[in-house]
Amino acid sequence: RQPNESTWKEQRRQWCDLVLAYYRHNRLFSMSLAEAVTEPPFANRQLRRALRVDVLREIVDELVKQGNAVWVGAKNTKDTCLVFWRKPEVWASMIHQWASERGLFNSVLTVFELANGDDTVGQEFHGLDAATLRRALDVLQSQGKAQLFVGTSDEDLGVKLFA
């Protein structure tokens, strides 16, 4: 970690940009800090250098402040997070637009269908992880554009989309 605060602020901004670009390029959605610091982009085996977990935690804290990540797991541990290279509000808008274009309002769909169904192949949200998809659906529900139907698991979760 850079000891000069203004330099660290700029480095942290660049790290945030890199994390979002890397996770978007590789379509990654969650990060275990302990594992992340052993792999690119946080470790370079040729140089035998790696970012320390405490420094990565500061970077993720900044992503959380920006709304591009949330801490998950055991309370106050800050060991695992979801990385939002697209915010849940953006995913929600894409899903709603897709449903509108296909005339699927008032139809019940499962989370599995949305994330992995044949009808979503080619959509950016195809293959979206369940936790991020759930957050997007929660956004739609809070906007009055969806109703969620709880199943026995997140994959059994149903959703009805509205105009």
Please indicate whether residue 63 or residue 4 has the higher confidence score (pLDDT).
63
Residue 107: its pLDDT value, please?
93
Between CA 64 and CA 81 the distance in angstroms is 9
Q: What is the pLDDT of residues 140-155, one digit of tens each?
A: 999 999 999 987 776 6
Place of tokens 């690119």: 40
Residue 2: its pLDDT value, please?
85
Task: Give the helix/strand (H/E) hosting 69.
Answer: strand 69-72
Residue 150: its pLDDT value, please?
85
Give me the percent of the chain exceeding a pLDDT of 70.
99
Q: What is the pLDDT of residues 93-139, one digit of tens each?
A: 999 999 999 999 999 999 889 999 999 999 999 999 999 999 999 99
Query: What angle, rounded to 10 degrees, do the helices at 53-66 and 5-25 form?
Result: 80
Neighbouring CB atoms inside 10 A of 120's CB total 19
Residue 157: its pLDDT value, please?
87
DSSP letters along 77-111, please?
A: T--EEEE-SS-HHHHHHHHHHHHHHTT-TT-EEEH
Residue 76: its pLDDT value, please?
79
Q: Are 110 and 155 in contact (CB under 8 A)?
A: yes
Query: What angle, rounded to 10 degrees, do the helices at 88-101 and 130-142 form?
Result: 80
Is it the case that residue 21 has pLDDT exceeding 90?
Answer: yes
Residue 74: its pLDDT value, please?
85
In angstroms, the Cα distances linking 136 to 10, 77, 94, 139 are 30, 24, 10, 5
Average confidence (pLDDT) over 54-81: 94
Nearest to 19 by CA among 70, 76, 59, 55: 59
Residue 155: its pLDDT value, please?
62
Whether the bond between 3 and the residue before it is cis, its omega within 30 degrees of 0, is no
Residue 135: its pLDDT value, please?
95
Type of residue found at 157: L
Mean pLDDT of the chain: 94
Average confidence (pLDDT) over 40-53: 94
